[in-house]
């Protein structure tokens, strides 16, 4: 990291967790825009402690630099340090999660060959009240996934922290599915390829409707089944059986899909 100036947060030490106020969030948005124009620039870390842009979070929490390789790494860390903060506060606190994006900016938006690829604002600015954007914030979606899926979460949490994978995008936004108790076990058993140690190829392809596809077919099939069955009372085995043949990914089915790996 570059040398720090007076008043800048030491990137190698612990600091008190803060949140951006509305002015701070807007200032961060402006900095993101500047980074898109000049991809090699850095956002000034003085913003993290500027009293005009931030305030301390209560109860006090210490945050420290971490090298998150996956969303799972980040999720475990945030669950550990946020245990004293009410969950509802964490779900609604746009300033906190946006501040964390800047604190961990070198991880969520790393430089490659000296330049950054800055994504849409909602990737770094948490929009808690937006049903289209809340689940696209890289750090929040990591925390939230572990919150609602403490087990059977490798499809969503084994991916890089610096980009939003299609599993997270397709799943977390559909609350009616995530509230089914056995859903994440079903998801894991359907779409995790044990032999390859990764997700099955092509099942998140949004541009093409195919048998067993997560982006299209699974949500539709769940909606169909909930008209007849109490899905909240089913085991994973029972729900898998009800889904039908198109969701049985044996060798013949995989060949039939004719999909290329999109991860």
> Is residue 211 a contact partner of residue 190, using CB atoms and an 8 Å limit?
no
N- to C-terminal Cα separation, the chain: 30
Q: Which of 31-35, 149-153, 195-199 has the lowest mean pLDDT?
A: 195-199
State the pLDDT confidence band at 252, using cuts at 50, 70 and 90. very low
pLDDT higher than 60, residue 3 = no
Mean of pLDDT over the chain: 88
The angle subtended at Cα 136 by Cα 131 and Cα 141, nearest 5°, is 100
Whether pLDDT at 2 is above 70: no
Q: Report residue 225: phi and psi, to 5°.
A: -70, -35
């Amino acid at each position: 990291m570059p040398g720090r100036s007076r008043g800048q947060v030491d990137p190698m030490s612990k600091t008190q967790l803060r949140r951006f106020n509305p002015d701070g969030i807007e200032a961060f948005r402006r900095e993101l825009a500047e980074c898109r124009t000049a991809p090699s620039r850095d956002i000034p870390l003085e913003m993290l402690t500027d009293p005009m842009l931030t305030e301390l979070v209560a109860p006090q929490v210490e945050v420290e630099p971490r090298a998150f390789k996956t969303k799972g790494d980040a999720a475990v860390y945030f669950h550990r340090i946020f245990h004293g903060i009410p969950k509802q506060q964490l779900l609604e606190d746009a300033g906190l999660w946006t501040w964390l994006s800047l604190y961990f900016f070198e991880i969520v938006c790393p430089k490659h060959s000296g330049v950054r690829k800055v994504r849409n604002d909602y990737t770094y600015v948490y929009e808690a009240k937006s049903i289209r954007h809340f689940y696209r914030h890289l750090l929040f979606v990591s925390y939230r996934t572990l919150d609602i899926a403490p087990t059977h979460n490798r499809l969503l949490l084994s991916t890089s922290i610096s980009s939003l994978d299609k599993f997270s995008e397709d799943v977390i936004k559909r609350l009616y599915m995530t509230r089914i108790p056995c859903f994440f076990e079903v998801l894991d058993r359907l779409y995790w390829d044990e032999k390859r140690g990764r997700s099955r190829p092509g099942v998140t392809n949004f541009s093409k409707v195919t048998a067993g596809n997560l982006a299209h077919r699974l949500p539709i099939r769940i909606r169909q089944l909930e008209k007849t069955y109490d899905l909240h009372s089913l085991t994973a085995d029972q729900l898998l059986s009800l889904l039908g043949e198109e969701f049985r990914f044996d060798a013949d089915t995989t060949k039939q899909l004719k999909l290329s790996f999109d991860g």
